[in-house]
Amino acid sequence: MPVTTTAIPEALQITQEIHQKTYLVNGELRKWEGETTPVISTISSTEEYAPTTLGSIPDMGEPEALEALDAALSAYDQGQGVWPTMKVKDRVECMEAFVKRMEQKREEVVKLLMWEIGKSEPDSYKEFDRTVEYIYDTIEDYKQLDRDAAKFQKHDGVYAHIRRGPLGVVLCLGPYNYPLNETFALLIPAIIMGNTTIFKPAKHGVLLITPLLEAFRSSFPKGVVNILFGRGRAVAAPIMKTGKVDVLALIGNSKSANALQEQHPKSNRLRLVLGLEAKNPAIVLPDADLDLTINECISGTLSFNGQRCTALKVLYVHEDIKDEFLKRFSEKVDSLKFGNPWEKGVNLTPLPEPGKPAYIQELLDDAQTKGAKIKNKKGGKHFDNYIWPAVLYPVTKDMRVYEEEQFGPVIPVLSFKDIEEPLSDMAESNYGQQVSLFGKDVYTLSPLIDSLANLVCRVNLNSSCQRGPDVYPFTGRKDSAQSTLSVHDALRSFSIRTFVAFKDNELNTNTIEQLMEAKVSNFLSTDYIL
């Protein structure tokens, strides 16, 4: 699939900056002179299919990792550094400066989102804009948190002024599918709460961070944000081994999270903020509106080729409607349009992981050997770095596609007679993020909603699963998450409640008045106290 003539020069122009191979440590943009790793897009820039080299990233190791850690530790300085002690309004000003600078990089970042991870143009703009909105919402929520903190409590003659304070040094690792939105949903609340951070982008969706390095450098005091490149093993592991990280913030898979957690010698002191795998099911009841259900299941399973933790990854369809559902759903899958991300109206785009089509093929082979059929005509066809979405039926529990989080274009379908079947599968599952429930009869839906809400954290009624809007709680039960990542909840995940208490006596009345008058600390002298 050839690219449009304008797309190549624009993308390569952006990579000029990337070729400078800069990284951010201790408030300095440093030039990397060591080994590098090429960043290769699976999108072809030639008529004959061939992956495109977009640039390269520094291949950093232990020395750089420890240098970044030292910078973050010094900036935090056991809670006494400039950043953790800074007044709320000053920290807000830094974050506002950052987001304004970030907005100026919209076009560059969006182009790299398309080239690096194959995200469609509308979805790439959406990811950028959503991230900016997330930052503005975080700022507003942080200010509200401070206004709420202004309210003194009094119980049994003891006053308390309770605030939220930082936790220390946060190691932040984001995923490739939302390299901006998901990563910044960790990084931004961690920073604004007064923590200092070390951030390493994922393997794919990494170059797009480089246009933002200067915005980070110029907006925050030195050492508050440190950005490294390289493999997780080489960069994140040495940092964890020191035992000096207070929070591991990661969106990705539990294997990486566990491996890093195990490196930490005092893991009982480590706070985990984790968004992990999911296997969200759709349950289609016999009275479901099939037009709506099929549309929602198409976007739920195949939006961004199914590479979303919130994607629908298994469909349970009632026996009475399964034939009609499978026929219409399969036709719809085959009618989707594949193309490069910037082409109008494309639904399916190149997969950024070179090994993904082969993995999907393994799942198809395994399922077919065990009795499943591919129901759509184009299902499983290979071209370039792509494999056409396959609708698999009947899927059984001994198949890999039932067990594994496929994170790609393959759709396992099971039929059921009794609602207890999907409910008991969900109860046995290691995951518990979300479910989609399709049906109309309120007397059937109502008790089901209650049951499902105890198995997952979000029940989507006649709608596909999704994270957003980002003000809603984003979390999961069992192996799907640790902590909650809405705008509101994330501020709490990256902080701890601390407070000043004082008995109601004459000395304190005078002291408190003077402290409030002096307005020198965040405690007792908050700008919001009347």
Ligand X SMILES: O=C[C@H](O)COP(=O)(O)O
* Furthest C-alpha separation in the chain: 84
Give the nearer residue to ligand X in terms of CB position, either 286 or 468. 468
Using the rule CB under 6 A, give the single segment among 17-25, 233-241, 306-314, 391-399 that binds ligand X. 306-314
Q: Which residues pair with 432 in a beta bridge?
A: 477
Give the nearer residue to ligand X in terms of CB position, either 45 or 177. 177
Residues in contact with ligand X, total (CB under 6 A)? 9
Main-chain dihedrals φ then ψ at residue 392, nearest 5 degrees: -105, 130
Site mask for ligand X (CB under 6 A), range 410-449, x = bound: ----------------------------------------
Q: Are 180 and 131 in contact (CB under 8 A)?
A: yes
Residues with Cβ < 8 Å from 508, sequence gap 6 or more?
Answer: 159, 502
Residue in the block written with tokens 């990854």: 313
Give the nearer residue to ligand X in terms of CB position, either 138 or 310. 310
Do β-strands 312-318 and 280-284 pair in parallel, antiparallel, or remain unpaired?
A: parallel
Site mask for ligand X (CB under 6 A), range 6-45, x = bound: ----------------------------------------
Query: Does the footprint of ligand X cover residue 467 (CB under 6 A)?
Result: yes
Q: What is the smallest separation between the CB atom of 484 and ligand X, expressed in angstroms?
A: 13
DSSP per position, 147-175 = HHHTS-EEETTEEEEEEEE--SEEEEE--
Main-chain dihedrals φ then ψ at residue 335, nearest 5 degrees: -90, -5
Give the one residue of 263, 293, 310, 349 binding ligand X; rule: CB under 6 A: 310
Burial pattern 311-325, b for ≥16 Cβ within 10 A else e, equals: bbbbbbbbeebbeeb
For 35, which DSSP code?
Answer: -
For 348, which DSSP code?
Answer: B
Query: Does the footprint of ligand X cover residue 468 (CB under 6 A)?
Result: yes
Give the nearer residue to ligand X in terms of CB position, either 27 or 468. 468
Segment 129-188, which members bind ligand X (CB under 6 A)? 177-178, 182
Using the rule CB under 6 A, give the single segment among 33-41, 45-53, 186-194, 305-313 that binds ligand X. 305-313
Using the rule CB under 6 A, give the single segment among 56-64, 192-200, 261-269, 463-471 that binds ligand X. 463-471
Give the nearer residue to ligand X in terms of CB position, either 72 or 117. 117
For 3, which DSSP code?
Answer: P
Using the rule CB under 6 A, give the single segment among 35-43, 98-106, 288-296, 308-316 that binds ligand X. 308-316
Give the nearer residue to ligand X in terms of CB position, either 164 or 467. 467
Give the Cα separation of 371 and 214 in Å (integer). Answer: 55
Q: Are 300 and 451 in contact (CB under 8 A)?
A: no
Using the rule CB under 6 A, give the single segment among 225-233, 414-422, 450-458, 465-473 that binds ligand X. 465-473
Give the nearer residue to ligand X in terms of CB position, either 174 or 380. 174
Q: Hey, what are 67's tokens? A: 């240098």
**Does residue 457 come out as left (phi exceeding 0), alpha (psi in the -120 to 50 range) or beta?**
alpha
Q: What is the smallest separation between the CB atom of 513 and ligand X, expressed in angstroms?
A: 48
| Binding site residues, ligand X, CB under 6 A | 177-178, 182, 308-310, 466-468
